[in-house]
A and B are shown apart, each in its own frame.
Chain A
Amino acid sequence: MKVSRRDVLKGLAAAGVAAAAGGVAARERRAPPAGAVGMLYDATLCIGCRACVTKCKEANSLPWDRSQDGLYDQPIDLSGTNKNIIRVAAAGERTSFIKAQCMHCVDPACTSVCMIGALHKEASTGIVAYDKDGCVGCRYCEVACAFNIPKFTWDRALPQIVKCELCRHRADPRRGGIFAVAHPACCEVCPRAAVVYGTRADLLAEAKRRLAEAPERYEPRVYGEEDGGGTQVLYLSARGVPFERLGLPELGRDAVPALSESIQHGIYYGMAAPALLFGAALIAIARRRGPEDGEG
């Protein structure tokens, strides 16, 4: 059978398209797990006292921040020593605070890019958890995250990724319910319940109840319900302070991995494209050597 180079290339392209199309169709919008837990942060209640920042450090045994010379524990950003910070945004006459920590995306980019699965989404709770034993330190997660959350302990000989894991290590199985899987220290200490812990379904219902009860108080949507494929940490903002002003990115409805994985997984669908490419390469080599070489 005579196979031209042109035929091989055509076949390859067709297989690639078919695989990619199949992949796109296969990657559906992900729903949060049934037992998804998360947090609801209400910027209208936060007074910026930073009790959550202090308690987070205590609960996670994090050292004090040395990033700013001469200032004791005044981090300017999330870092290897800060999993949770309160930022400030000037909002007209008023000051609005905004809590920054892992959003625990429904469809996280960081777990999508993690080649080992060191960052993974817990199947039952949806917590984006980190396993330092699997981490190779590539920091793809840092680059992939739309919220700029995972940080690296650059100053350590054996560095690791640092990010909020919803205090899953503080879970108490004896308490049952949501506290059996995690127990965020920030929600425990917040003096105004500006940030509360619960199941995502409950928190979303609560957020919508607040919106319905006092529509004049809030921006008319819950950030994280749909944004970037949905997050398990939800935000409410004061009326007149759009979420972009609080530094929360506009991500659209779809998760980033929905597109990137469609392309990546499509190309490798059933290993068809690599197999074809390999086969084509073999054929090309065989043809180049020529039948006479084989005979000789």
Chain B
Amino acid sequence: MAELEALGVSRRDFLKVCTLAAGAIGLPAWAGEKMADKAAAGAKPSVIWLHWQECTGCTESLLRTSAPGVAELILSLISLDYLETLMAPAGQQAEEVLAAAMERGRGKYVLVVEGAIPMKTLQGERVTRASDAHTAAYCRVGGKTALETTIEAAKGAAAIVAIGSCASWGGIPSADPNPTGAVGTQEALRSVGIDRTVVTLPGCPANPYNLLGTVLQFATFGTLPALDDLGRPKFAYARTIHEDCPRRPHFDAGRFVQKFGDEGHRAGYCLYKLGCKGPATHASCSLNPFVEVPGAWPIGIGHPCFGCTEQKLAFRVPLHDTVEVERPTAPGTYPPLVARRGAISPVATGLAGVAVGVLAGAGYMATRKLDRRHGGHEEGEP
């Protein structure tokens, strides 16, 4: 805490960030307080951050959280022991830092992987055994392949987090024709027989609060957030963009932007027709603003969602193609195939028939009586 106060960050600011991080993962405010206390007490989780085939956008977005001082705060909540982008050493020194961090924190550190792992050998085959990890052809750092270092780091990690779409499922390096055989961390480890839980935080780039929340929960409570079948934390990826989209009322009312710059576009209508992937994309962008800037995400600035978190969409489905709606509007609000209106019951019909019959019979009898009286009168006349 003292070092933060030296940076001009008050305890209040520090608590705010911790609470925000707790809120992002669906924990109550007291959890944020607890995280802050733990972090202030010096129990900062050691984090080893590996970069493979990526653009470093995830790191950059973590550092470019908008409120002043937040980058420092984030770095004060975790002990970032190895991160190539930020560290001063290079070459041999950097390698030594990595080895030391892994040795020192064995079994305790959090491994964050950013970037896809290339699996192809020079012969164009895929590596399938850990012992063959050195035969992978691409992305060598310090004489070791990405796969080798990842396997080594994963063995001593208490938790493994894959940040960004590249580390989650391959991302842009895995786009066709995928020349390096790039895959996500989970798949890379599984294909060499290492079955570890990898928390995947897809996104291009991923929202830094998803990482912060995950790491802090692990550091504070020793648990990982609830994950879906793709290893994504449910707090951020359980719902689709479409379900919480600020433009959703326009979708429900059938108001769509027809083309960029038209009247509907200026009025903020739904972007589905322009190719918005929101209805099939699992992410929390609509709820948790990217780096705390409200509206700083594709749909917020009037561009269709790109589906960056989804393996089946991003870099595969063309930008302006439309997608199926994963969970359509509740069918109850649609008209049925056969419209059912109020029906007349058979009993009522029967009763009405009886009534009509009685009236008709009475009328007939009445006319006959009239007739007879009339006839009698005629007969009576001479």
> Which applies to chain B's interface (DSSP): helix, strand, loop or mixed?
loop
Contact A88 B256 (CB under 8 A): no
Q: Which chain B residues numbered 230 to 280 have a C-beta less than 8 Å away from chain A?
A: 251, 253-256, 258, 272-273, 279
Instruction: Please report B residues at the A interface, Cβ cutoff 8 Å.
Output: 251, 253-256, 258, 272-273, 279, 322, 324-325, 328-329, 331, 333-341
- Is A180's CB within 8 Å of the partner chain B? no
Least distance between A266 CB and chain B CB atoms (Å): 35
The total of Cβ contacts below 8 Å across the A-B interface reads 68
**Which residues from A are CB-within-8-Å of B251?**
49
| Docked complex Cα distance between A77 and B65 (Å) | 52
CB-based nearest B residue for A53:
B254
Residue on B nearest A188 in the bound complex, by CB: B258
Asked if A189 is at the interface (CB within 8 A of a chain B CB), the reply is yes
**A88 touching B254, Cβ below 8 Å:** no
- Tell whether A54 pairs with B253 under 8 Å between CB atoms, given A90-B331, A95-B331, A189-B258: yes
A240 nearest CB across to chain B (Å)? 16
CB distance from B64 to the nearest CB of A (A): 34
Name the CB-closest residue of A to B322. A192
A41-73 toward B: CB 8 Å interface, digit per residue (1/0)?
000000111111111000000000000000000
Is A75 close to B, CB under 8 A? yes
In the assembled complex, A130 has its CB within 8 A of some CB on chain B: no
Chain B residues within 8 Å of A89, by CB: 337
From B255, B325, B331, B335, A47 is in contact (CB under 8 Å) with B325
Complex Cα gap A86–B334 (Å): 7
Instruction: State how many angstroms separate the Cβ of A167 from the closest Cβ of chain B.
Output: 16
**Contact between A85 and B335 (Cβ–Cβ < 8 Å)?**
yes
CA distance A152 to B254 in the complex (A): 25
The answer to the question of A196 belonging to the interface, with a C-beta cut-off of 8 Å to chain B, is no
Chain A interface category by residue count: 20 to 34
Among B258, B273, B335, the residue within 8 A (CB) of A76 is: B335
CB atoms of A87 and B337 under 8 A apart: yes
A35 in the interface (beta carbon within 8 A):
no
B335 touches A54 (CB 8 A): no
Contact assessment for A50 and B254 in the assembled complex, using a CB-CB cutoff below 8 Å: yes
| Candidates B272, B273, B337, B340; contact of A98 at CB < 8 Å | B337
Which residues of chain A come closer than 8 Å to B328, judged between CB atoms?
Answer: 47-48, 95
Given A189-B256, A189-B258, A191-B256: A49 and B337 interface contact (C-beta under 8 Å): no
Closest to A71 in B: B333
Q: Is the CB of B273 within 8 A of A74?
A: no
Whole-angstrom distance between the Cβ of A21 and the nearest chain B Cβ: 40
Contact B256 A51 (CB under 8 A): yes
Chain A residues whose CB sits within 8 angstroms of the CB of B322 once the complex forms: 47, 191-192
* A77-B334 contact given A47-B325, A48-B329, CB 8 Å threshold: no
* 10 cross-chain pairs, A with B, having the tightest CB-CB distances, nearest first: A54-B254, A191-B273, A77-B339, A88-B334, A51-B254, A247-B337, A76-B339, A50-B254, A47-B325, A88-B331
- Say if the beta carbon of A149 comes within 8 Å of chain B: no
**B336 pairs with A88, CB closer than 8 A:** yes
A246 close to B (CB within 8 Å): yes
A97 at interface, CB cutoff 8 A: yes
Q: Mark each residue of chain A from 87 to 107: 1 if its CB lies under 8 Å from any CB of chain B, else 0.
A: 111100001011000000000
Known: A90-B331, A95-B331. A76 touches B336 (CB 8 A): yes
Bound CA span A95–B329, Å = 10
Contact status A55-B335, CB under 8 Å: no
For the complex formed, measure the closest distance between the CB of A175 and the CB atoms of chain B, giving whole angstroms: 16
Q: Which of A9-51 contact B (CB under 8 A)?
A: 47-51
A75 touches B253 (CB 8 A): no
CB contact under 8 A between A87 and B336, given known A47-B324, A51-B254: yes
Q: A49-B254, A51-B254, A77-B339 are in contact. Are A97 and B334 (CB under 8 A)?
A: yes
Q: Which residues of A contact B255 (CB under 8 A)?
A: 51, 54
Tell me the smallest distance from the CB of B275 to a CB of chain A, in Å.
9
Q: Which residue of B lies closest to A50 (CB)?
A: B254
30 contacts between A and B (CB under 8 A): A48-B325, A48-B329, A48-B334, A49-B254, A49-B256, A49-B272, A49-B325, A50-B254, A51-B254, A51-B256, A51-B273, A53-B254, A54-B253, A55-B254, A76-B336, A76-B340, A76-B341, A86-B335, A87-B336, A87-B337, A88-B334, A89-B337, A90-B331, A95-B331, A189-B254, A189-B256, A191-B272, A191-B273, A192-B273, A247-B337
Q: With the chains together, A54 CA to B272 CA distance in Å?
A: 16
With contact pairs A90-B331, A191-B256 given, residues A246 and B337 touching in the complex (Cβ less than 8 Å): yes
Contacting pair A77 B335 (CB below 8 A): yes
Contact between A74 and B333 (Cβ–Cβ < 8 Å)?
yes
CB distance from B299 to the nearest CB of A (A): 15
Name, among B251, B329, B337, B338, the residue most crowded by chain A CB atoms within 10 Å (CB to CB).
B337
**Which residues on A sit within 8 Å (CB–CB) of B333?**
74
Residues of chain B lying within 8 A (CB to CB) of residue A75? 335
Q: Do the beta carbons of B335 and A87 come within 8 Å of each other?
A: yes
Question: Could you say which residues of chain B place their CB within 8 Å of the CB of A97?
Answer: 334
Q: What chain A residues lie within 8 Å of B335 (beta carbons)?
A: 74-77, 85-88
Contacts of A74 in B (CB 8 A): 333, 335
The smallest C-beta distance from A235 to any residue of chain B, in angstroms, reads: 14
For residue A86, which residues in chain B have a CB less than 8 angstroms away from its CB? Answer: 334-335
- Shortest beta-carbon distance, B303 to chain A, in Å? 16
User: B residues within 8 A CB of A88?
Assistant: 331, 334-337
Nearest neighbor of A191 in chain B, beta-carbon distance: B273
* Bound-state Cα–Cα, A50 to B329, Å: 11
